[in-house]
Structure formats: C-alpha cells, structure tokens
Chains A and B, each alone.
Chain A
Amino acid sequence: MRISALPLAVVAAALLVIWVLAAIALNWQVVADAQARTGHSPDWQAMLGLTLNHARPLLPGPHQLAEELWRSTVMLPVTSRRSLVHHAWITLSAALSGFALGSLAGIVLATAIVHLRTLERSLMPWIVMSQAVPVLALAPIVIVALGSLDLGDLWPKAVISAYLCFFPVTIGMARGLASPDRLSLDLMRTWSASRVQIFFALRLPVALPFLFGGLKVAMAASIVGAIVAELPTGAQAGLGARLLAGSYFGQTLQIWSALAMAALVSATLVGLLALAERLIARRMAGAA
C-alpha cells in the first residue's frame, strides 16, 4: 500500500487534537471538585493547565504520557523493578517463545493437512471452531494446570500465546501450500518429481506470502496472549501485571504507559516481519 504522508499527518493531527480536548473534558470535573474542596476557584486558563497535568488523570495529556514513558524506560536502569523495559522484556520473552512454538505447530499442521485428505476433512472444521472458543478464557486453566507442573513463569504464558498463534499460521500456510495451480503441479509430475521435491521446489515458495500474512497476525496475537496470561494469576512482573496493578491502585499513568509500551513492541515486531517478508520476496524475485 502506498503511504500518503499528507492525509496521514492530517488525520493523526486531528486525533491528537481530539485527545487533548478529551483529556481536558474528562479531567475537568475531577480537578474542579479537588479545587473546590481546597476553597480555590481558578480561572479557566489555570484550569486548562491543571486538567492536563493531573497526577491521576482519567485521560492523561499526550505530553504526560510521553514524559512517563521517557521516565520509566530511559531514566531508570533496566534492572530496576520499576523500569518498563524490564516488564516489557518479561512479556516479550513469553510472547516470542509462544510465537515460535505456535508458528512451528501451525506450519507442521498445515503441511499435514495439505498432504492428508482425511486430516483436511476431519480436522479443519475443528481448527476453525477452536477460534470460536474465546481462547483467552482458557488462560486461568492453563496457568493453574501448568503451574502445578513447576515449569517456571515463562512457559504457561508461552503456551497461551502459542494457542493464539497457531490458527492464523495454519490457515495461511494451508491456503498457501494448496495454491499452486493444476498446470504447475502437472509440470512437476511430468518431471517425475517426488512429493518432497514438489513441496520444496513448488509449494513452499508459493506459500511464503500467505505464511507471512499469517505470521504477522500471529505476532500481534502472541503479545495479546502473553499480556492476558498475566492477568488472572496475579503475576508480579510483565506488562499485563503493570496493567492490573495500575488498575487496582488507580495509577492511570502506569496503565497508559504500559499500554503504549505494548503497542510499541507489537507494532515494531510486526514491522520487522513485514521487512523480512519484503527482503525474502526480493531475493526470490532475483533468483527466479
């Protein structure tokens, strides 16, 4: 897709203005009440400043969020328990482990489905239906069950990420592996290519764009999985734990910064995948 800078900038700027106005509107009542209690009645200019700099705002101003992000990532040492980098890494490591596990399972499953008709007929409907199950609701169960097996903190979360990951990869990969047309398959057969040769020379290269489409969805899902997996168990560290703690103690800036961090990590990883996809596509176009 061609990115057009001007419309994007205008829409983004409009959203920023809406954000600031909403922050003023949402925080107005809280600030006004607090000022009334102390007997002050500031004029509207002072009120604007106060609403945008409240310590526990319903919606922080953009500069407050940027400040908080800067403070909790750059100003604090990475090893500190209050450093957002530390928490992001804990969530990210679980998400990436789950992503690797789930994608691998998805690719293997798709390969089996494309080659065995029985599997396609009997398994595929269940794979589709497995997504109608609100998977994240399984998180407490997996955490409790795997927690009793003494696997450490990482793997229960990774399993939930993996469950979310496998579906888009399986579907994308299966569609991709089945996408070569009759002509190409017949051509391979006239060369008396074996199933393995057909797989590596024809099916796999053709399936790559589909695979990357699935991987990008899976990457975003793995982050969601890791964050939600931290919620029901009262995890001590991680972005999900920051969200939960912030929600309990009314530390809204903490919630917003954890959310912004999660968005940043997720968007970066998906962007990296898109980059890898483009590089591989260019290599393959050069080789052909």
Chain B
Amino acid sequence: MSLLLAILLLVAAGFAIHRLARLEGPVLGLAAPLAFGATLLALWEFLVVANEVPMVLLPAPSAIGARMVASAGILWIDFNQTFLKAVLAGYAIGCLGGFLLALLADRVPFLARGLLPLANLAASLPVVGIAPIMVMWFGFDWPSKAAVVVAMTFFPMLVNTLAGLAAAGRLEHDLMRSYAAGHGATLWHVRLPAALPFIFTALKVNAPLALIGAIVAEFFGSPTAGMGFRIATEASRLAMDMVWAEIALAALAGSAFYGTLALAERAATFWHPSHRP
C-alpha cells in the first residue's frame, strides 16, 4: 500500500519536474532542481515513516531537523572548532602557498619542469592519509587538522595556477612586449587575469577537499569538539540522528562555501566567455 502511494507520488512529481525543466532564467531555472530535491526529501520521509525503518538504519528528515534545532549549541561548538578554525586557516595557507610557489615556478622554468610531474603525481595519492602523522606532529587541537587541509589544497592550486599562467595568448604577450612591459607588469595586467578562471577552479575544487580533510583528521584524535569527533563518537553510540545532523551541517557549510566562491568567480571573471548568455 505504502509502496503504491510512493510510486504515485513519484510519477506526479516526475511530471511536474518535467514541465518545470522547460522554464528558463536565473530564478525560474532553479525551479526544477528545487522540485527534484523536495521530491527526494518527501520520498525519504514517506518511506521511512511508512515502513517504520529503525533509526539506526536511516532517520527521517524531520527527525534530523528536530535534532539540529535541539542540539544547535553543540553544532555551533563543532562548527566553530572544525570549520572556522581548522578549515579556514588550512585552506587559506594551502591555497596561498600553492599560488606563491606557482608564481615562483613560473619565474624559474627549471623548477616548473621538475615540480609539475611531482605535483601531478600528488594528485593520484591519498593525501588525507597523512592525518595521523600531522596529529602526531601538531597535537590534537585544530592546527593538526589545518596542516592536513594545507597538504590537500596545496597541489591542486599549484597545478591549476601554473596551467592558468600559461593560458594567455601569444598576441597579448607580443602586445605587452611592444609596450616594453616587464615581467611584473605582464603578470599583473595580462597573465594573472587570464589565470583567474583556473585559480577559481582550484579554489572551488579545494573547498570540499578542505572540509573532508579536517573531518577525517579528527577521526585520528581531537579535543572533545569538532564535527569529525562528534560523527565518530555518536556513530559508535548509534545516535544516528546526531550523526546525520552533523552531516547536514557539513553539507550546508560545504555548499555555502562553494556557492560563495562561485559568486566571487562570477564577479571577478565576468568577462570570460563561459558567463556570457
């Protein structure tokens, strides 16, 4: 019976989404994905309640929401510990470090040709595995988590910035040469703007990576606060609504972080062809 109802609901929502998908525009274009998400949540809630799925397997969205409201204080402490301290500090240092090394390597081609294969190799390595070592070096508190985040965000930024600095065309270079512009002026007026889309790609790729790095690093030891710490301890107590509340918080934080970067990108690279209608 409940299965039949669920299928009916799905079919109806499917038709609605199909109609919504034809809407265009910056606001109306959001209708279809929003309807899709709402359908998914409704289906989840419906199936869990109708089949009386045990909390350990999967709590209903309403239960997760209730837990988020009830434990707002704890969630804020964890968010502060993990995101505001570890993620932001590590992200800033890692991205800036990768960027500066890319500028240096760009000045010294010998260095770039030696670094690039190593940086590409690093992309295929499970960097997050250094977490236990960082905990050993920097202690249980947030600096060790920030160190993991630095290691994870460094290489994508290095590789992307180097690729971006090579993106400016021959013509622009020749023009700058004819103006008798030096390395610095060419870098500032031509090559850095041309590299911006690549740099933003790295910034966006790094945003979820940073969050993952900080959370996983907390599995190896942390003070009694932090999103990873809470997830690990509450999961072992089978308090799954709290675990899901932390996940939802992490998802919100990750999406907001990513969304902010996407908006900043649109503002900074408005001239790029991919943003023209």
Residues in A neighbouring B139, C-beta threshold 8 A: none
A-B contact count (CB 8 A): 174
Q: Which of A4, A144, A239, A250 contacts B238 (CB 8 A)?
A: A144
Residues in A neighbouring B33, C-beta threshold 8 A: 121-126
CB–CB B240/A137 < 8 A? no
A146 (CB) vs chain B CBs: closest residue = B57
In the complex, A26 Cα to B136 Cα: how many Å? 12
Contacts A132-B255, A252-B133, A263-B125 hold; do A123 and B113 have CB atoms under 8 A apart? no
**B231 part of interface (Cβ distance < 8 Å):** yes
Residues in A neighbouring B118, C-beta threshold 8 A: 8, 11-12, 15
Dominant SS among interface residues on chain B: helix
**A266 part of interface (Cβ distance < 8 Å):** yes
Q: Which of B125, B207, B243, B246 has the most CB of A within 10 A?
A: B125
Residues in B neighbouring A12, C-beta threshold 8 A: 114, 118
Interface residues on B, range: 35 or more
**Shortest Cβ distance from residue B197 to the other chain A in the assembled complex, whole angstroms:** 16
Question: In B1-22, which residues have CB < 8 Å from any A CB?
Answer: 17-18, 20-21
Contacts A10-B114, A137-B246, A247-B221 hold; do A232 and B124 have CB atoms under 8 A apart? no
Residues in A neighbouring B164, C-beta threshold 8 A: none
CB–CB A121/B21 < 8 A? yes
CB–CB A1/B36 < 8 A? no
In the complex, A176 Cα to B240 Cα: how many Å? 39
CB–CB B57/A148 < 8 A? yes
Question: In B125-155, which residues have CB < 8 Å from any A CB?
Answer: 125-126, 128-133, 135-137
Residues in A neighbouring B240, C-beta threshold 8 A: 141, 144
CB–CB A216/B124 < 8 A? yes
Contacts A11-B114, A223-B126, A228-B128 hold; do A132 and B251 have CB atoms under 8 A apart? yes
**A177 part of interface (Cβ distance < 8 Å):** no
Tally A residues with Cβ within 8 Å of B.
61
Residues in B neighbouring A143, C-beta threshold 8 A: 235
A130 (CB) vs chain B CBs: closest residue = B251
Question: In B81-129, which residues have CB < 8 Å from any A CB?
Answer: 110-118, 120-121, 123-126, 128-129
Can you give 27 A-B contacts (C-beta < 8 A)? A8-B113, A9-B114, A10-B110, A11-B115, A58-B136, A118-B18, A122-B36, A123-B33, A126-B36, A129-B258, A132-B251, A132-B255, A133-B208, A133-B251, A134-B211, A137-B227, A217-B123, A227-B126, A231-B216, A232-B235, A243-B132, A244-B132, A244-B219, A256-B133, A259-B133, A263-B129, A267-B125
